[in-house]
Amino acid sequence: SQTIHQWPATLVQPVGSPLSLECTVEGTSNPNLYWYRQAAGRGLQLLFYSVGIGQISSEVPQNLSASRPQDRQFILSSKKLLLSDSGFYLCAWSPLDRDNSPLHFGNGTRLTVT
């Protein structure tokens, strides 16, 4: 069966520090991978999605970046965090080339930038 792992679960970082959140998927190949952010009191916002290794699409201009160094690994990074980067970050995957397919979420990372 397929599983998705996301870590860490919580993170407190000072402004200006770097960020690296990691997400891995097991039990499937060539998944679509997504990073979402949920700010307090707001809906989920798509940050990045990837349909293959090294292929990243950015939805929202900001100081975050994403990389997909391996088929089932998706990393969210920042060189210098801002206060506005605080939020709940969710990684998700869906089967590739299946437009109407379910979306599977990781347990999320709660990031607080102080």
Partner 1 sequence: KNEVEQSPQNLTAQEGEFITINCSYSVGISALHWLQQHPGGGIVSLFMLSSGKKKHGRLIATINIQEKHSSLHITASHPRDSAVYICAVRVSGTASKLTFGTGTRLQVTL
Contacts with partner 1, residue ranges (CB under 8 A): 32, 34, 38, 41-46, 49, 51, 59, 88, 90, 92, 94, 99-108, 110
CB of 90 to partner 1, least distance (A): 6
Please give the DSSP secondary-structure letter assigned to residue 79: S
Beta strand 55-58 with 3-7: parallel, antiparallel or unpaired? unpaired
**Residue placing its CB nearer to partner 1 in the complex, 80 or 107:** 107
**Residue placing its CB nearer to partner 1 in the complex, 16 or 34:** 34
**Residue placing its CB nearer to partner 1 in the complex, 12 or 79:** 12
Q: What angle do CA 40, 49, 62 make, to 5 degrees?
A: 55
Q: How many Cα atoms within 13 Å fall on the side-chain side of residue 72?
A: 11
